[in-house]
């Protein structure tokens, strides 16, 4: 049987039990050992952006869609931190644990199976998104940029979005020949998304075809839409579309990434 056929034949829904949380707990314990260092970047980074772009650049920018520039970018900063923390946790972080530390090899000799190891990693990535973006949200709140009580729904949405970016990142981890490989998705996927997803300037600058394309394929667009809507209290129908889009993409990549990792780890 060819490699591809074998993969197709063995493709299945992952068998998961409560043991997923044992893997999550392992990562959580490591994180808490150095929590001060881990809390620093999500605390400082948004301050720099808000000051430099919001106050600095914002002074030259007229209102965007009726919003002061700083208020336009604030939700984007939260959404970007969702993307970055989980994507990099499940690419560089997971790759180091898998390849250099052989942590996964150690875990699968216990009653925990490989699917549960990967699912635990994905949930951990989502948790990192939740933690980081909640800190960013706190900074944004301190700047007085939150105008709707619906903002309390942002953390659960961050967890969901985190699971999506974790799962996408884990697919790259499953095919990465070495750690430098992550430069490709970093610069070809994450960086353009960071700049082009309705984050620092509005979508309406794009021709309609490009807008449709971005809506169809860029996950960050939907994370930004949801975060902005909840922060400002604009409940529009686009929010429903975004949440369905994220849920569907998350399920797809969650299952795909576990199967790809299984192929990589179990020969």
Partner 1 sequence: MPEVLIRAENLTKKYDDFLAVDKIDFEVFKAECCGFLGPNGAGKTTTIKMIHCVLPLTSGSLAVAGMNVSEKPREIKKMIGVAPQEENLDPDFTVIMNLLVYARYFDIPKPEALKCAEKLLKFSQLEEKRNVIIDQLSTGMKRRLILARALINEPQILLLDEPTTGLDPQARHLIWDKVRSLKKQGVTIILTTHYMDEAAELCDRTLIMDHGKIIEEGKPAELVKKHVGEDVLEMDYDPEVMKVLQEKFPEARLEMVGDRIRVFTAQPHGVFEDFLRDFPTKGATIRNANLEDVFLKLTGRQLRE
What minimum distance in Å lies between the beta carbon of 112 and partner 1?
5
How many DSSP H helices and E strands does the chain contain?
Answer: 13, 0
Burial of 212 (0-12, 13-18, 19+ CB in 10 A): exposed
Closer residue to partner 1 in complex, CB, 106/192: 106
Closer residue to partner 1 in complex, CB, 44/96: 96
Instruction: Supply the angle between the helices 114-142 and 154-175 in degrees, to the nearest 10.
Output: 140
Do 50 and 146 touch, CB atoms closer than 8 A? no
Count CB neighbours of 34 within 10 A.
9
What minimum distance in Å lies between the beta carbon of 267 and partner 1?
7
Restricted to residues 20-39, the positions that interact with partner 1 (CB under 8 A) are 22, 25-26, 29-30, 33
Q: Which tokens in the block code for residue 113?
A: 């199976």
Restricted to residues 73-132, the positions that interact with partner 1 (CB under 8 A) are 101-103, 105-113
Q: Does 266 bind partner 1 (CB under 8 A)?
A: yes
Window of 19-27, 51-59, 127-135, 242-250 that interacts with partner 1 by CB under 8 A: 19-27
What minimum distance in Å lies between the beta carbon of 1 and partner 1?
9
Q: Does 5 bind partner 1 (CB under 8 A)?
A: no
Closer residue to partner 1 in complex, CB, 13/209: 13
- Which residues make beta-bridge pairs with 64? 67
Do 250 and 164 touch, CB atoms closer than 8 A? yes
Binding site for partner 1 (CB under 8 A): 3, 19, 22, 25-26, 29-30, 33, 101-103, 105-113, 266-267
């Amino acid at each position: 049987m060819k490699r591809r056929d074998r993969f197709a034949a063995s493709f299945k829904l992952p068998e998961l039990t409560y043991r997923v949380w044992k893997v999550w707990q392992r990562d959580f314990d490591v994180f808490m050992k150095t929590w001060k260092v881990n809390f620093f970047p999500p605390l400082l980074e948004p301050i720099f952006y808000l000051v430099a772009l919001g106050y600095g650049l914002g002074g030259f920018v007229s209102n965007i869609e009726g919003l002061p520039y700083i208020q336009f970018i604030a939700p984007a900063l939260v959404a970007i931190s969702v993307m970055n923390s989980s994507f990099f946790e499940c690419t560089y972080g997971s790759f180091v644990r898998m390849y250099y530390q052989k942590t996964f090899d150690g875990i699968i000799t216990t009653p925990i199976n490989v699917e549960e190891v990967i699912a635990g990693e994905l949930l951990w990535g989502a948790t990192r998104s939740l933690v980081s973006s909640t800190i960013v949200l706190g900074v944004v709140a301190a700047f007085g940029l939150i105008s709707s009580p619906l903002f309390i729904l942002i953390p659960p949405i961050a967890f969901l979005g985190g699971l999506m970016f974790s799962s996408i990142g884990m697919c790259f981890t499953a095919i990465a020949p070495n750690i430098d490989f992550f430069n490709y998705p970093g610069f070809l996927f994450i960086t353009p998304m960071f700049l082009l997803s309705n984050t620092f300037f509005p979508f309406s600058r794009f021709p309609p075809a490009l807008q449709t394309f971005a809506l169809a394929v860029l996950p960050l667009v939907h994370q930004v839409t949801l975060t902005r809507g909840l922060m400002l209290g604009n409940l529009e129908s686009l929010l429903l579309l975004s949440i369905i889009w994220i849920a569907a993409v998350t399920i797809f990549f969650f299952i795909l990434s576990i199967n790809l990792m299984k192929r990589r780890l179990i020969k």
